[in-house]
Amino acid sequence: MKRVDRLSLISKGGRRESDAEHTWHLVMFIWMFSYLYERNIDLLKAIKMGLVHDLVEIQAGDVYGLSSGLESRKKAAEKKAALSIFGPLPEEISKELTDLWYEYERKETEDLRLGQGG
């Protein structure tokens, strides 16, 4: 993940943030913000979701600001990457990572909303 550059620039230095840096920042945000968040969430699940959400970018790359036509190709590439990365793992681990990734993609749960900043 440290070799996958995101499209966003780091404000100081003008370089691109890596997926590893992005994920670390997100997980730290989830953990610290959980102290202020007034709703009951599963912190461990929210942290796991933060860790797994961009693993697919190892193969699919980072893409954002897409038109509707490119959005469907992005989703297809990420789904293919998820199956490729999670599929070979032992069944229990593969299922947990896949379920967390799909839950993040659906953006439906309270644990996820914490990870997105409330």
Q: What do you get for the CA distance between the two ends of the chain, in Å?
A: 26
Q: What is the pLDDT of residue 93?
A: 96
Q: Are the beta carbons of 78 and 70 closer than 8 angstroms?
A: no
Q: Give the whole-angstrom CA distance, residue 9 versus residue 18.
A: 10
86 CB burial (10 A radius; 0-12, 13-18, 19+): buried
> Residues with Cβ < 8 Å from 84, sequence gap 6 or more?
59
- CA torsion through residues 24, 42, 79, 107, sign: negative
Domains of the chain: 5-115 (1.10.3210.10)
Q: What is the pTM of this model?
A: 0.73
Per-residue pLDDT reduced to its tens digit, 43-75: 999 999 988 888 887 787 766 655 566 777 888
Q: What is the pLDDT of residue 71?
A: 74
Q: Give the whole-angstrom CA distance, residue 31 versus residue 49.
A: 12
